[in-house]
């Protein structure tokens, strides 16, 4: 795998995580953006609500890393919210964390990064399996398959967490997924 492919894979994993668990999935995306002609007072109230909404999202860290990688946010424009941060806050974090963000992106190229991508991809693939869909029917078999699926997901999550902790310690990046 080339370094470019590795970066793209990492990004795809982050996007898959957000797609799978985003609190905003299926909701109106306009709530995160200032409308044309919207007054500051109106936007201020909606912006606060959008920030509150994101604060309850389990994928906020992955969403933030994606936003930083995507270059979202503008230091001069107060017109959006993503990952619980305003566009101006995202721009500020990107500037403040530029070195760490570069380190995280660079880490995508190393072996651990590829291992993490594979583990997370396998975790979500496992999570999407339906243990009841096997031809080997029967309630007992179904329970056993569910148990095996749960154990496999737990094992994958532990392996991924171990790698993430090591990567964060190296890069000093304590927030992103």
9-68 residues in contact with ligand SF4 (CB under 6 A) are 18, 22-24, 53-54, 57, 59-60, 63
Report the C-alpha gap between 159 and 81 in whole angstroms: 32
Contacts with 46 (C-beta within 8 Å, 6 or more apart), sequence order: 31, 34, 38
Q: Report the nearest approach of ligand SF4 to the CB of residue 130 (Å).
A: 25
Query: Given the complex with ligand SF4, which of 33 and 157 has the nearer CB atom?
Result: 33
Q: Do the Cβ atoms of 23 and 63 come closer than 8 Å?
A: no
Report the C-alpha gap between 150 and 176 in whole angstroms: 25
69-128 residues in contact with ligand SF4 (CB under 6 A) are 82-84
Query: Given the complex with ligand SF4, which of 6 and 68 has the nearer CB atom?
Result: 68
Query: Given the complex with ligand SF4, which of 83 and 163 has the nearer CB atom?
Result: 83
- Nearest Cα to 62, choosing from 9, 102, 22, 116? 22
Biggest distance spanned by C-alpha atoms of the chain: 61
Query: Given the complex with ligand SF4, which of 18 and 93 has the nearer CB atom?
Result: 18
Q: Report the nearest approach of ligand SF4 to the CB of residue 90 (Å).
A: 11
Q: Report the nearest approach of ligand SF4 to the CB of residue 27 (Å).
A: 8
Q: Report the nearest approach of ligand SF4 to the CB of residue 71 (Å).
A: 16
- Nearest Cα to 104, choosing from 163, 21, 58, 159? 163
Q: Please give the residue ranges that form the binding site for ligand SF4 (CB under 6 A).
A: 18, 22-24, 53-54, 57, 59-60, 63, 82-84
């Amino acid at each position: 795998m080339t370094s470019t492919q590795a970066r793209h894979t990492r990004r795809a994993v982050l996007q898959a995580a957000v797609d799978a668990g985003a609190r905003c999935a299926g909701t109106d995306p306009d709530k995160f953006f200032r409308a044309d002609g919207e007054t500051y007072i109106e936007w201020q109230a909606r912006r606060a609500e959008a920030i509150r909404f994101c604060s309850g999202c389990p994928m906020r860290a992955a969403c933030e890393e994606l936003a930083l990688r995507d270059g979202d946010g503008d230091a001069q424009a107060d017109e959006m919210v993503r990952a619980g941060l305003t566009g101006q806050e995202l721009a500020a974090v990107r500037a403040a964390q530029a070195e760490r963000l570069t380190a995280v992106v660079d880490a995508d190229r190393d072996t651990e990064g590829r291992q993490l991508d594979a583990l997370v991809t396998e975790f979500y693939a496992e999570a999407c399996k339906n243990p009841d869909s096997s031809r080997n029917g029967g309630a007992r078999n179904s329970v056993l398959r569910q148990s095996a699926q749960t154990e496999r997901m737990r094992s994958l999550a532990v392996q991924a967490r171990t790698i993430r902790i090591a990567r964060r310690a190296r890069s000093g990046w304590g927030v992103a997924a």
